[in-house]
């Protein structure tokens, strides 16, 4: 923690200058950069007057960066609701747009539109939001779509408002603002389309109101989501009937077939499910490998296993079958039989994490050379649980070169991170590793940890494994001090909490899963209610989410006497499932027990959290 804090706070100015802008331009340039760093820091902390004063001091001398400084002066005026002043500055920049850097050209129309909206000039704002859809980044386009929808709504054009929301919902179906506006406009639309009915159902589903969601899904003829809602309401027999009907009509999608088989198992209707899937196979299903896998799963008939492995050896379903059949043998001590089953993975799936599992277990019993397994795991699977557990972090001194775009480096060095991010996205002249490193750095500065982690993962998998890159792959986030405080109160290791947050949300407090889980620790609304939180929106508060999430995790740790495999499985799938698996899964130890978890999501979840936990302990303890 001390290293992270020192890096992030105590040495920020020095580190940024050393990394991004060699101090060869003299004391005056360094002074300007220091003032800009201070101004940008004040702006991000909400000290707008202080930032405005600093920007104004720098502006006469900051020639290269003057368009950016003017832009942020305008942005501060916009935030202070001095829309006329903001618009005056933005218009001055826009008038000379032929000379503007591309990143400013991309963002100015959106900010000008906001200023016009503030002045009540919605027609002009509408036109500028349309320009944003052409010039802006994906993030700005999403914001523009929402504002266009809001303006259309206020003008009483509710169908048009919904049309503007659709691009957001298609890319981010759980977007909170878009779903709230859907619910707001729906009662005003006469004769709503099936698409609107479906989106209303999704909005209610995310809110945990499954009864209302069910009604709208039925009206929209959205059968799969009708089945999901019935499952949530505990009406599994009806869900089974809905899923059966969809499959009989030829729908063989993976999500549907998985839910169908899962419900059939719970109801003891495996034979009935088998008959339905046989019909799908006869109808020339699009994904025959999927159907063959589940037909074998339900019946254990060798012809399905043989056909799947012979005809579709590279499919993920052949891989899954090979793994589980091999695991049955391995967990019974029949190691050579396991090797025979896993031969398909070794031949066809060497880039899949399942291959890492195979290496790990075969090398433990002498059926694969340990040195060779170690080399392959460290080289190709450095982030997998099996590698991290066996060998820890694979660290070297390799760091990609930073981008050679001098302006890009300068924007970063003085704290114009938003502009730097847009600029990096608009240019193609960055090497892959250089771009990934730069983007990971910049996203972390903006507390956008999901993409920062993603780029760090790409770098690590490509061999760039400097400790600072590992820290970006496993960051402390913005609420570490509060996590430590709450974890100590509940007697839980704060690094375990970080590992859970890392897997659940990648430190995004606003995320909502397809099932309706909310926030940093992905709490379901009914979990919040069990702790006295009846307003689901409160679960978006990082402090509330962390406090309740740690309590929830602690309950499972106590229930299972500190067994991390069991507690983490319960956090993901519920204690009822775990109690049943304890009875049904025969294993020699808890690690092997976790390999037998029938839910793929939970099986992977346990390993990913434990792998992250090992990384956090090595980096910060």
Whichever domain contains 541, its CATH number is 1.10.530.10
pLDDT at 60: 87
Q: Are residue 565 and residue 613 in the same domain, yes or no?
A: yes
Between CA 584 and CA 578 the distance in angstroms is 10
Does residue 398 form part of some domain? no
Region 383-399: mean pLDDT is: 97
* pLDDT score for 430: 62
Residue 276 inside a domain? The answer is yes
393 lies in a domain? no
For 517-572, write each residue's pLDDT tens digit. Answer: 999 999 999 999 999 999 999 999 999 999 999 999 999 999 999 999 999 999 99
pLDDT at position 515: 85
User: Please, are residues 573 and 602 in contact by the beta-carbon 8 Å criterion?
Assistant: yes
Identify whether residues 192 and 43 lie together within a single domain. yes
The neighbour count for residue 613, using CB atoms within 10 Å, is 25
Q: What is the mean pLDDT of residues 204-228?
A: 97
Q: Is 591 a catalytic residue?
A: no
> Residues 82, 155: one domain?
yes
Whole-number average pLDDT of the chain: 93
Instruction: Check whether 513 has a pLDDT greater than 50.
Output: yes
- The whole-angstrom separation of Cα 446 and Cα 336 is 51
What's the mean pLDDT in 603-619? 98
**Cα 529 from chain centre:** 25
Q: What's residue 2's pLDDT?
A: 37
pLDDT at 262 over 70: yes
CA distance 268 to 300: 16
User: Mean pLDDT throughout 594-604?
Assistant: 93
Which comes out higher in pLDDT, residue 207 or 306?
A: 306
Residues 440, 546 share a domain: no
Question: Given a cut of 50, is residue 6 above it in pLDDT?
Answer: no
Of 92-106, 339-353, 361-375, where does mean pLDDT reach its minimum?
Answer: 92-106
Q: Which long-range contacts (CB under 8 A, 24 or more apart) does 169-173 make?
A: 169/199, 169/202, 171/142, 172/142, 173/202, 173/514
Give pairs for 583-588: CB < 8 Å, separation 24+: 586/331, 587/331, 588/331
Residues 172 and 278 in one domain: no
| Dihedral sign for Cα atoms in the order 324, 330, 331, 332 | positive
In a domain, 390, yes or no: no
pLDDT of residue 427: 66
Q: Report yes or no on 380 lying in a domain.
A: no
Residue 15 pLDDT greater than 60, yes or no:
no
The answer on 483 and 466 residing in a single domain is: no
Query: Does the pLDDT of residue 247 top 60, yes or no?
Result: yes
Structural domain harbouring 501: 479-620
CA 611/CA 389 separation, integer angstroms: 7
Which pLDDT band holds residue 30 (cuts at 50, 70, 90)?
very low
- The pLDDT tens digits of the residues spanning 481-500 come to 999 999 999 999 999 999 99
* Structure tokens that stand for 191 in this block: 């004769």
What pLDDT sits at residue 428?
Answer: 61
Whether residue 326 has pLDDT greater than 50: yes
Q: Say whether pLDDT at 429 is over 80.
A: no
Residues 507 and 601 in one domain: yes
Per residue in 436-464, pLDDT tens?
999 999 999 999 999 999 999 999 999 99
In-domain check, residue 401? no
Count of structural domains within the chain: 4
- pLDDT-based confidence at residue 16 (cuts at 50, 70, 90): very low
Domain shared by 45 and 190, yes or no: yes
The reported pLDDT for the residue numbered 353 is 96
Indicate which residue of 226, 376, 384, 504 is catalytic. Answer: 504
Whether residue 76 is found in the same domain as residue 107: yes
Q: Which residue in 379, 411, 508 sits closest to 20, CA to CA? A: 411
pLDDT over 70 percentage in the chain: 94
CATH number at residue 146: 1.25.40.10
| Domain-terminating residue out of 473, 500, 527 | 473
Contact (Cβ atoms closer than 8 angstroms) between residue 293 and residue 320 = yes
Q: What pTM does this model have?
A: 0.90
**Mean pLDDT, range 594-605, rounded to an integer:** 93
Domain membership of residue 79 (yes or no) is yes
Domain assignment present for 383: no
Instruction: Of 110, 115, 104, 105, give the one whose Cα is nearest residue 76.
Output: 115
For the cut 60, the answer to whether the pLDDT of residue 12 exceeds it is no
411 and 445 in a single domain? The answer is yes
Last residue within a domain, chosen from 424, 448, 473: 473
Q: Per-residue pLDDT for 140 more than 50?
A: yes
423, 448, 473: which is the final residue of a domain? 473
Backbone angles phi, psi at 301, to 5 degrees: -85, 130
- Residues 498, 502, 507, 510: is their CA dihedral positive or negative? negative
| pLDDT value at 19 more than 80 | no
61 shares its domain with 158:
yes
Q: How many CB atoms lie within 10 A of CB 44?
A: 15
Query: Is residue 403 very low, low, confident or very high in pLDDT (cuts 50, 70, 90)?
Result: confident
Confidence of residue 514 (pLDDT cuts 50, 70, 90): confident
Percent of residues in the chain assigned helix, strand, coil, to nearest 5: 75, 0, 25
Q: Is 512 helix (H, G, I), strand (E, B) or coil?
A: strand
Give the least confident one: 225-234, 281-290, 333-342, 409-418: 281-290
The residue among 583 and 401 whose pLDDT is bigger is 583
Of the candidates 481, 542, 538, 544, the residue with the CA atom closest to the CA atom of residue 507: 542
- The residue-averaged pLDDT of 154-178 equals 97
Same domain, 141 and 48: yes
Q: Is residue 20 pLDDT above 50, yes or no?
A: no
- Three-state DSSP class for 505? coil
Q: Please, which contacts does 552-557 make with residues 24 or more away whose CB atoms are closer than 8 Å?
A: 552/521, 552/523, 552/527, 553/492, 553/496, 553/497, 553/500, 553/521, 554/490, 554/491, 554/492, 557/492
């Amino acid at each position: 923690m001390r290293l992270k804090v020192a890096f992030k706070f105590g040495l920020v100015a020095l580190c940024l200058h050393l990394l991004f802008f060699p101090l060869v331009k003299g004391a005056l340039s360094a002074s300007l950069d220091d003032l800009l760093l201070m101004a940008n820091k004040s702006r991000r902390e909400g000290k707008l007057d202080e930032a405005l004063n600093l920007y104004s001091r720098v502006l006469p001398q900051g020639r290269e960066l003057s368009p950016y400084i003017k832009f942020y002066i305008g942005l501060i005026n916009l935030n202070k609701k001095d829309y006329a002043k903001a618009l005056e500055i933005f218009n001055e920049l826009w008038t000379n747009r032929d000379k503007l850097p591309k990143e400013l050209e991309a963002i100015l129309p959106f900010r000008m539109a906001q200023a016009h909206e503030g002045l009540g000039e919605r027609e002009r704002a509408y036109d500028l939001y349309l320009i944003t859809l052409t010039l802006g980044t994906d993030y700005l386009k999403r914001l523009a779509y929402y504002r266009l929808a809001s303006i259309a709504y206020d003008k009483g054009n509710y169908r048009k408002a919904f049309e503007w929301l659709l691009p957001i919902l298609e890319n981010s179906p759980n977007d909170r603002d878009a779903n709230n506006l859907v619910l707001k406009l729906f009662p005003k639309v006469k004769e709503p389309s099936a698409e609107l009915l479906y989106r209303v159902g999704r909005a209610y589903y995310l809110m945990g109101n499954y009864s209302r969601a069910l009604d709208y899904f039925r009206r929209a003829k959205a059968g799969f989501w009708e089945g999901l809602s019935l499952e949530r309401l505990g009406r599994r027999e009806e869900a089974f009937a809905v899923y059966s009907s969809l499959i009989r009509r030829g729908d063989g999608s993976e999500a549907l077939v998985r839910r169908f088989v899962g419900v059939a198992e719970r109801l003891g209707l495996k034979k009935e499910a088998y008959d339905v899937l046989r019909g799908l196979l006869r109808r020339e299903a699009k994904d025959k490998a999927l159907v063959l896998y589940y037909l074998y799963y339900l019946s254990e008939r060798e012809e399905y296993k043989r056909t799947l492995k012979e005809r579709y050896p590279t499919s993920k379903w052949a891989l899954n079958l090979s793994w589980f059949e091999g695991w049955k043998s391995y967990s019974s001590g029949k190691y050579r039989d396991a090797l025979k089953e896993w031969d398909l993975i070794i031949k066809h799936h060497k880039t899949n994490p399942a291959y890492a599992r195979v290496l790990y277990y075969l090398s433990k019993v002498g059926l694969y050379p340990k040195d060779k397994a170690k080399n392959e795991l460290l080289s190709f699977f450095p982030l997998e649980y099996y590698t991290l557990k066996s060998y820890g972090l694979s660290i070297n001194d390799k760091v990609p070169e930073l981008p050679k775009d001098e302006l890009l480096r300068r924007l970063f060095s003085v704290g114009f991170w938003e502009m730097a991010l847009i600029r990096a996205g608009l240019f193609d002249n960055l090497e892959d590793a250089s771009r990934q490193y730069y983007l990971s750095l910049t996203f972390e500065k903006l507390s956008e940890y999901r993409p920062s982690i993603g780029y760090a993962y790409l770098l690590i998998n490509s061999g760039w494994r400097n400790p600072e890159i590992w820290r970006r792959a496993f960051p402390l986030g913005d609420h570490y001090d509060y996590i430590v405080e709450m974890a100590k109160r509940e007697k839980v290791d704060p690094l375990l909490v970080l590992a859970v947050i890392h897997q659940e949300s990648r430190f995004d407090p606003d995320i909502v899963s397809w099932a309706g889980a909310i926030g940093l620790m992905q709490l379901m609304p009914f979990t919040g209610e069990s702790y006295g939180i009846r307003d689901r929106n409160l679960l978006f508060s990082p402090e509330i989410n962390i406090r309740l999430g740690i309590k929830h995790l602690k309950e499972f740790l106590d229930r299972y006497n500190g067994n991390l495999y069991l507690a983490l499985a319960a956090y993901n799938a519920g204690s009822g499932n775990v109690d049943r698996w304890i009875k049904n899964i025969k294993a020699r130890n808890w690690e092997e027990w976790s390999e037998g978890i029938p839910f793929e999501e939970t099986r992977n979840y346990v390993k990913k959290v434990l792998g992250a936990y090992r990384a956090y302990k090595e980096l910060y303890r």
